[in-house]
Amino acid sequence: MPIPTSRFRALAALTVAGGLVLSGCAATAEPAPDTSSDGASTDAFPVTFEHMYGETVIEEAPERIATWGWGATDAVLALGIVPVAIPSSEYGGGDNRITPWVEEALDELGAEEPVLLDNSAFTLSVEELLATDPDVLVASYSGLTQEEYDAVTAAGIPVIAPEEALWATPWRDVVTDTGRALGLEAEAEDLLTDLDEQIAAAAAEHPEFEGTTIAYADDDVDTFYLYLPADPRVEILEDLGFVSAPAVTELDSGESTFYTTVSSENLDQVVADVLFTQAEAQEDLDSFLSSDRGRLIPAVAAGAVAPIVGEENVAAVSPTALTLSWILPEIVEQLATATAVAQG
């Protein structure tokens, strides 16, 4: 799930600047905007979105929100609204196909489960969607096709489609776009400020992360993946102070915008102080770390590995308005242990 990177220094500066702006605004009394009963600012509408399929205009604050893709559901819930329809989570969602952080948010809001749109084939059933009578479909970070977009908009439902390419909208933009679509732009900015502060605080608690080189890898039996700096999961590691190892981009074959594959005979070239990796089960991780091919990687041989284990945890590493707080403590703990090994 690719996303352009941002660096920790820029993040910290943004957090400080945001605090100054907020404190400055507090000193000046201004008329409060009109709001609807659900808290959405009526002054925000109409609002226009430009995206890969053209332009979408939302004329008034929507009341029935449907989501598609990754992150939009979390953003809507984090802003205190329960969607009428959400995509099923085939990976990390358990038997009921709803991720634990979404379940927690629904419990906190005292809400029943929304209608689940079947996501098993990664295709949107327009019929299922329209049956929920939505006012808007938020699909900023998704694989929404032109055909699906045309079918939904032909039914009179405005759609927030991916900005420039499928699965390529930055995770922070998903939060911002969702806030704008719901008339809760200020609340979305506050949410992002809080999330950025959590990352900055974790980085400040671990100055040893700063400048440590890292590679994010995924061993999938026959294929070894390295995630590139454009991936949002790598972005979070860099926000914490790590630096993507030069080997990552040197090994990039150009096959994808957010990952590259490495053949077994070249695994010794994956040189980084720390290896961050994921596995669906502990036995899978143990098998990889003890294998001859795995131990070709210098960080594996040295024991400087930060693993995330379990479908729920692996899914949560992809940042959203809800997953970041849910998984950040585990990420930081694993990284701290691996960095201590790397630094002796």
| Backbone φ and ψ of 284, nearest 5° | -65, -40
Q: Which helix (H) or strand (E) holds 51?
A: strand 47-51
DSSP 122: S
| pLDDT-above-90 percentage for the chain | 83
Q: Which range has the worst mean pLDDT, 67-76, 130-139, 215-224?
A: 215-224
Q: Give the per-residue pLDDT at 222.
A: 80
Q: How confident is the model at residue 220 (pLDDT cuts 50, 70, 90)?
A: confident
Q: What is the pLDDT of residues 229-274, one digit of tens each?
A: 989 999 999 999 999 999 999 999 999 888 999 999 999 999 999 9
The reported pTM is: 0.84
Instruction: Supply the mean pLDDT for the chain.
Output: 88
Rounded Cα distance between 235 and 43, Å, is: 34
Q: What is the pLDDT of residues 117-171, one digit of tens each?
A: 999 999 999 999 999 999 999 999 999 999 999 999 999 999 999 999 999 899 9
Q: How confident is the model at residue 335 (pLDDT cuts 50, 70, 90)?
A: very high
**Pairing mode, if any, of strands 274-279 and 213-220?**
parallel
Q: Is the separation of the CB atoms in 40 and 47 below 8 Å?
A: no
Q: Is the separation of the CB atoms in 217 and 289 below 8 Å?
A: no
Q: In order of start, what are the domains of the chain with their CATH numbers?
A: 40-183 (3.40.50.1980), 200-342 (3.40.50.1980)
Q: Which helix (H) or strand (E) holds 309?
A: strand 305-309
Q: Give the per-residue pLDDT at 221.
A: 75
CB atoms within 10 A of CB 69: 25
Distances (CA, A) of 262 to 129, 213, 220, 233: 40, 18, 11, 19
Rounded Cα distance between 317 and 226, Å, is: 15
Q: Is the separation of the CB atoms in 192 and 176 below 8 Å?
A: yes
Q: Give the per-residue pLDDT at 40.
A: 66
